[in-house]
Amino acid sequence: AAALAMAEQVVAELRVRCETPPSMLREVAVEMAREMGAGLEKDGGSRVKMLLSYVDKLPTGREEGLFYGLDLGGTNFRVLKVQLGGNAKHVVDRDSREVGIPPHLMSGSSSELFGFIASELAKFVDDDEKCANISNGKKREIGFTFSFPVKQRSVASGTLVKWTKAFSINDAVGEDVVAELQTAMEKQGLDMHVAALINDAVGTLAGARYYDKDVVAGVIFGTGTNAAYVEKANAIPKWEGELPHSGDMKKNDFAVLQVINMEWGNFFSSHLPITEYDQELDKESLNPGEQIYEKLTSGMYLGEIVRRVLLKISLQSAIFGDIDHTKLQTHFLLRTPHISAMHHDETSDLKIVAENFEENLEITGTSLEARKLVVEICDIVATRAARLAAAGLAGILMKIGRDHSVEDQRSVIAIDGGLFEHYTKFRRCLETTLGELLGDEASKAVAIKHADDGSGIGAALIAASQSQYK
């Protein structure tokens, strides 16, 4: 009983420290909008990099032909192809394959990683060649979704700024990732042209906008988190120097658009509710001090935060009995899908929590009271994540003037990523919190849409809209 009381005390404190009242979330949204402006002002103007994507036209539905996509996120890697029908027939045929990234490649050398990607692509294209006739002298074109911060100079080139999530390959930083992919493809004897380099948020935006012109932003809550949105050229002072000054491409021309890759995972605000667990997680991470918003809101980290809380409770109060802590002390052993499963456990005796404890942590014989506390911890961590995520979305809407209702104007935010897709309570909480922040009137004109596999398709679509054969 004393153990339980001690553990309850720790959880009560956690709940207080993770509180996200609407007033705090509004501050976070305002700061997100402000940081967006500062990042657009000049390079280095904000922790939120607001990178130009060089995507200035989004697919319209008129594109035609066979296009490929590659999607390197944080956990999985996908190759895909789409047959576009043109004339608003959209995607008439598609095929894709998903491959796990062998963990050792996440911290090896750049040529090993790109060699692996190119060889998986070669296998996919080979199979495909057997049953379709392509070519007629044209090179196949491919869009590459590479979801790490990249400094671009054109739509089809860009140098890696830094790794995030679980990646850390030193010799790739500062290199042009398209050139590396192109070299690796040549080694595989693959004659393909990389027509576009984008990230998953840009891809999600493009993929969703292909079907719905009211889509204003693409957002990812997966292994990591990021957002992209459509900005007017005259709101991007740092772009000025690079814009061609001839013809109709004038900076103050409202028709000139640019998709901005926010890299919002690196957002930080003193208003963020950061606990001792978050601080320790950050300190021991691959990128201390960086990606703080991502560390609070994305799939790679939520399970790890919960693990840290459980460890503290168990060491302090022995609430799980006299157990061996080896497993519970292993970083990243408890993963977000596990906490999602426990959080959604609706059995009266919390059977799923018990199973997860046995299978993942090798902790048996937990009491029902202890299991209830586990669910509560998952709830606290996931709720904070979802509410902060909603505040970020509100920040974007604020920045583009869509946070208040204007007649006949609809704004759609397309969201993808495994966390959003599979963690139902996260997703629901995100949606209700956004409604809370916008108020009834403005919420009516804002919709959140799940963009299924937008990021991979989006790359192929942008490759099509940028095609050199048009």
The set of catalytic residues is: 78, 147, 200
- The residue within the footprint of ligand ADP, chosen from 53, 110, 261, 336 (CB under 6 A), is 336
Please count the residues of this chain forming the interface with Mg ion, following the rule CB under 5 A: 4
Q: Is 418 in the site for ligand ADP (CB under 6 A)?
A: yes
Identify any residues that bridge with 82 across adjacent strands, giving them in sequence order. 67, 94
- DSSP E strands, 191-302: 192-198, 215-221, 225-232, 257-261
Helix ranges restricted to H, 83-223: 110-131, 177-187, 200-209
Cα distance between residue 347 and residue 251, in whole Å:
59
Work out how close the CB of 375 gets to ligand ADP at its nearest, in angstroms, rounded to a whole number. Answer: 15
- The residue within the footprint of ligand ADP, chosen from 340, 360, 411, 465 (CB under 6 A), is 340
CB closer to Mg ion out of 300 and 373? 300
Rg (CA), the chain: 23
Residue at token pair 């922040």? 437
Cα distance between residue 305 and residue 318, in whole Å:
19
Pattern 34-73, binding to Mg ion, x per CB under 5 A?
---------------------------------------x
Greatest extent of the chain over all pairs of C-alpha atoms, in Å: 77
Pattern 420-439, binding to ligand ADP, x per CB under 6 A?
--xx----------------
Written as one letter, the residue type at 50 is M
Q: Assess contact for 236 and 41: CB atoms under 8 A.
A: no
CB closer to ligand ADP out of 71 and 282? 71
Work out how close the CB of 122 gets to ligand ADP at its nearest, in angstroms, rounded to a whole number. Answer: 21
Q: Which pair of structure tokens corresponds to residue 454?
A: 């937008």
Cα distance between residue 80 and residue 453, in whole Å:
10
CB closer to ligand ADP out of 104 and 245? 104
- The residue within the footprint of ligand ADP, chosen from 118, 300, 306, 438 (CB under 6 A), is 300
Cα distance between residue 456 and residue 303, in whole Å:
26
Cα distance between residue 433 and residue 422, in whole Å:
18
Q: Is 405 in the site for ligand ADP (CB under 6 A)?
A: no
CB closer to ligand ADP out of 75 and 119? 75
Q: Is 299 in the site for ligand ADP (CB under 6 A)?
A: yes
Q: Is 224 in the site for Mg ion (CB under 5 A)?
A: no
Residue 59 contact among ligand ADP, Mg ion, none, beta carbon within 5 to 8 Å by kind? none
Written as one letter, the residue type at 467 is S
Q: Is 458 in the site for Mg ion (CB under 5 A)?
A: no
- Rounded to an integer, what is the distance from CA 208 to the centroid of its chain? 15
Q: Are strands 192-198 and 411-416 parallel, antiparallel or unpaired?
A: unpaired
Q: Is 203 in the site for Mg ion (CB under 5 A)?
A: no
- The residue within the footprint of ligand ADP, chosen from 65, 73, 395, 456 (CB under 6 A), is 73
Residues that bind Mg ion (CB under 5 A): 73, 200, 222, 455
Sites of contact with ligand ADP (CB under 6 A): 73-76, 222-224, 299-300, 336-337, 340, 417-419, 422-423
